[in-house]
Structure 1
Amino acid sequence: MKGQPTLARTLKLHQIVFMGLAWMTPMIFYTVYGVANEAADGMMAAAYVIAFLAIFFTAYSYSRMVKAYPISGSAYTYTKRAIHPRAGFLVGWALLLDYIFSPIIAILTFGIFMNTEFPKVPVFVWIIIMNIVLALVNIIGIKSVASVSGLSVLIQIGFILLFCILTAKDVLTGNTAAESLFSLTPFFGEDVSFSAVFSGAALICFCFLGFDAVTTMAEETIDAKRTIPKAIFLIVLIAASMYIAIAYLTQVAYPDFTFTNPDNAAYSLVQLVGGNLLSTIFIMVLIIATFTQGVSSVTSVSRFLYALGRESILPEKLFTSLHPKYQTPVANILFVAVISMSAVFINLDSAVMFVSFGALTAFTFVNLSVVSHYYIKGKRRSAKDTFLYLVFPLIGAGFIGWLLTLLDKNTLTIGAIWVAVGIVYLFIKKEWSRMNTTKIDMASVDQYSKNYVR
């Protein structure tokens, strides 16, 4: 309708990249360091290389699909348009777990870190404060989100560079047992357990989650067909470079580093490298990183809800309303804030479980969407196109689908229950729409009879 507010196209390439990295949170390397190190049997550099290769195929598929459909909705839109509307609905329903629980993870983690620094203030107080701030920042507008994200990412990259420089200095000055800064051992060590490396890679793949979230901002991006694909690859490449560099240097410098508690292993590693000063900076940067991850995740989920509302999957009147001044989906943002208050009661493991199931399900179907859209429907079947639109995405779908099967039984069971609830919701919604249509038709008949039948 003329005069109705729309999402403003203001985002440029560097802003999209910063927002994707902020959602991904480069500091996540440290938060999963202990668990990942154990899973990969110490071969984290090799595990990160494998994880990067696996994610690269899915990133490629996202870049192809955003070119075909440069609109909000991400995996839901791609699956619906390329495969089938019902498949799209189920993917979108599963993806809701990823998007809705991502802010919860950020808010809960923020509360935990702040409580560590200020133990007299309960975790729930920090959760409430952060929830309010995240809502306000997102309501003001997408530009404010981009600005906050950019600053946070620069701070995180700055810390990572400082950590790498200090680690390299220890090697070069002979403060470690390493004889040289250059070694192939982190990638091809003796007695390498390839099963352990792949297990580590399966876990480490979650460190790359975030590149996909920027596709939800396609309608707020200048020249989205060109900008979003570039941003996707830049985000993955930048993240992989940082992760592999940290893993490589720590393995070279401290090959015998051990820890007792995997949850705080990174804190011990940072203390080993830079003492108490660096560990204090480490905690503060982690707090900043978690905050901006929350900002970016609220932005993504509010735009995803906007897309589902526009498709009438969710109530259209509520989820497609935009603020006339800020041009942001205020109702969606407030809805997310209400849901995110569950961070007071939910535990971190449960939230991560929901995100894992939703993300891997979406990734699998985005790869399959490329095959359906380009190879099957578009008939792009030359030798080059067969490689790009069949082989590449099938490799991505196969690898990600395999990772999905590696989730624990409880995760798969709850995920299946969630999908079943979505099927029931779809059936009820369809029946409700049919009943309303019948009522409208009958009302028209009754009115016609009153006016014209004598």
Structure 2
Amino acid sequence: MPQHTTDHRTDGQGQLKRALGVPSLVFFGLVYMVPLTVFTTYGIVTQVTGGRVPLAYVITLLAMVFTARSYAKMAAELPFAGSAYTYTQKSFGAGIGFVAGWALLLDYLFLPMINYLVIGIYLSAAFPMIPAWIFVVTAIALVTVLNIIGIVSVARANVVIIAAQTIFIFTFAGLGIASMTGTGTVDLAAPFTGDGTADGFGNVMAGAAILCLSFLGFDAVSTLSEEAKDAKRTVPRAIIIATVTGGLIYIALSFLAQLAYPSNDFTDVDSGALDVMAAAGGQFLTIFFTAAYVAGACGSALTSQASVSRILYAMGRDGVLPKSFFGRLSPRFHTPVLATLAVGLVSLLALAVDLGFISEMVSFGALIAFSAVNLSVIKHFVIDGKRRGGAAVFSFIVLPGIGFCLTLWLWTSLSPRTLLIGAIWLLIGIAYLAVVTRGFRRSTPMLDLTE
């Protein structure tokens, strides 16, 4: 098992603990993705695509498989914390790496907010006498404490959450199929042909772009490379397994959901899944779904907050972000406590934003990072590594090139509002980098990749 040649305890930073194998990494990725996350934006994407959510997921999964492969290739070469930030920095230099990391921060900072927001939405629907903000604040406090305690406690909680969601999935499938067989009017092609309310392939692409947020699990796995056993072998495996498994679950669940409730008329579009559950299994399934979904959202909040704190740690460790704050680990817990607390404070914005906006912003940041990693494979293996021959061209140019084109296509399918705000975020990042480098007169500090 590879170890750091430099003991960071000597400078007060501590050392990340290697404790995770393939099962724990896959669980981490699946919980981060949340098998039930298909219902997070279900109502929104159903209306955008005109009832073609499964088709949108097929397109997104196709793009994500190519991108996940690029992540797996880079993770095997660079088994360090930092994910797209590290891969892009090593391939293109510190400046471009910073921009990729800044874009990645956007989706990582917003994803915990999505989880806290939907926790408030669904629990307040179940307990209308309690304000949603109480559930949101309580969840933020609980998740922050668990992440400070350490990554092993997160991995153990993930097993329980995945088990509960698995039971729900089988229950939903059973009740949904039973409810449909009794009608005698099921159109199995409808989830792919649509209901006619939003025709055209462009609407499907717009929905697929939003759904990219569902696939952040494989990216999250790569951020744990410094806490994985035999990272060069385990992390790439876990990335591919989590991506394909999650994608197939999303397609199957959205297919069953649209058959059980073939409509885009929801009581509340943000919680449209409740209409689906009521149609498939009545009050029992609605209650079961709320419990399983909230548990999954808590698990996703756990893993997403863990991931973004480690991104901040990687960027702080090299001095791009203030090292004294972000680049330190707790000597007791071996976790980035201050970075974790900062993410918890930022997550309080969940009290003041809407679900549709957050979902699109997460996808904006994710797609930029995904594009950068696909290009990093080409730069790292072909241009820098001088890999030649037909097999190398196919593996390190054609496949990542397809991944880049697909992610770019999805990125341009986002709404103009999202593209504008995302561009402003990138400009803020570039301006910050200009300050750090004193007008680009100094080089951007490089992340220490010594292992």
- Length-normalised TM-score, structure 2: 0.88
Is 1:74 the counterpart of 2:80? The answer is: no
- Is the alpha carbon distance of 1:324 and 1:430 closer, same or farther for their aligned partners in structure 2, counting shifts above 3 Å? same
Within 5 A, what are the aligned runs for 1:153-302? 153-171=162-180, 174-178=182-186, 193-251=200-258, 253-254=259-260, 256-257=262-263, 259-261=265-267, 262-302=269-309
Letter in 2 for 1:177: T
Distance 2:441 2:272 in 1: 57
Deviation (angstroms), 1:27: 1.0
Judge conservation of contact 1:176–1:254 (CA < 8 Å) in 2: no
Distance 1:178 1:124 in 2: 40
Letter in 2 for 1:390: I
Is 1:139 the counterpart of 2:148? The answer is: yes
- Is the alpha carbon distance of 1:25 and 1:399 closer, same or farther for their aligned partners in structure 2, counting shifts above 3 Å? same
Letter in 2 for 1:74: S
Deviation (angstroms), 1:400: 0.8
Deviations 1:10-37 (A, max 9, x none): 0111111111111111111122222222
Distance 2:194 2:278 in 1: 26
Within 5 A, what are the aligned runs for 1:320-399? 320-399=327-406
- Structure 2 equivalent of residue 430 of structure 1: 437
Q: Name which one, 1 or 2, has greater alpha-carbon Rg.
A: 1
Deviations 1:191-236 (A, max 9, x none): 9854444443333333222221111110000011111111111111
- Is the alpha carbon distance of 1:190 and 1:31 closer, same or farther for their aligned partners in structure 2, counting shifts above 3 Å? closer
Deviation (angstroms), 1:122: 2.1
Judge conservation of contact 1:160–1:242 (CA < 8 Å) in 2: no
Judge conservation of contact 2:91–2:376 (CA < 8 Å) in 1: yes
Choose from 32, 36, 49 the match for 1:27: 36
Distance 2:129 2:317 in 1: 45
- Structure 2 equivalent of residue 445 of structure 1: none
- Structure 1 equivalent of residue 55 of structure 2: 46
Q: Which runs of 4+ in 1 moved over 6 A?
A: 188-192, 432-435
Deviation (angstroms), 1:258: 5.2
Judge conservation of contact 1:375–1:390 (CA < 8 Å) in 2: yes
SS for the counterpart of 1:72 is coil
- Structure 2 equivalent of residue 414 of structure 1: 421
Deviation (angstroms), 1:317: 2.1
Give the fraction of aligned pairs with identical amino acids, expressed as a percent.
39
Deviation (angstroms), 1:256: 4.4
Letter in 2 for 1:280: I
Choose from 10, 17, 21 the match for 1:12: 21
- Structure 1 equivalent of residue 100 of structure 2: 91
Q: Which segment is superposed worse, 186-195 or 423-432? A: 186-195
Judge conservation of contact 1:170–1:176 (CA < 8 Å) in 2: no
Deviation (angstroms), 1:38: 2.8
Judge conservation of contact 1:41–1:193 (CA < 8 Å) in 2: no
Deviation (angstroms), 1:370: 0.6
Deviations 1:280-299 (A, max 9, x none): 11111121111111111110
- Is the alpha carbon distance of 1:353 and 1:323 closer, same or farther for their aligned partners in structure 2, counting shifts above 3 Å? same
Distance 2:421 2:52 in 1: 32
Deviations 1:82-105 (A, max 9, x none): 122211111111211111222222
Structure 1: gaps (5+ residues)? 436-454
Judge conservation of contact 2:35–2:246 (CA < 8 Å) in 1: yes
Q: Which segment is superposed worse, 12-21 or 203-212? A: 203-212
Structure 2: gaps (5+ residues)? 1-5, 443-451
Judge conservation of contact 1:208–1:236 (CA < 8 Å) in 2: yes
- Structure 2 equivalent of residue 439 of structure 1: none
Deviation (angstroms), 1:250: 4.3
Letter in 2 for 1:305: L
Is 1:122 the counterpart of 2:160? The answer is: no
Distance 2:311 2:272 in 1: 35
SS for the counterpart of 2:308 is helix
Choose from 110, 129, 135 the match for 1:101: 110
Deviations 1:154-200 (A, max 9, x none): 2112211211122233455x444249xxx667557899854444443
Deviation (angstroms), 1:356: 2.2
Judge conservation of contact 1:71–1:219 (CA < 8 Å) in 2: yes
Choose from 316, 321, 327 the match for 1:314: 321
SS for the counterpart of 1:431 is coil
Deviation (angstroms), 1:433: 11
Letter in 2 for 1:229: P
Distance 2:123 2:261 in 1: 32
Distance 1:189 1:216 in 2: 38
Deviation (angstroms), 1:333: 1.1
Distance 1:409 1:332 in 2: 32
- Length-normalised TM-score, structure 1: 0.88
Distance 1:416 1:381 in 2: 36
Letter in 2 for 1:272: A
Letter in 2 for 1:55: M
Deviation (angstroms), 1:346: 3.5
Letter in 2 for 1:392: L
SS for the counterpart of 1:212 is helix
Equivalent residue pairs, number: 430
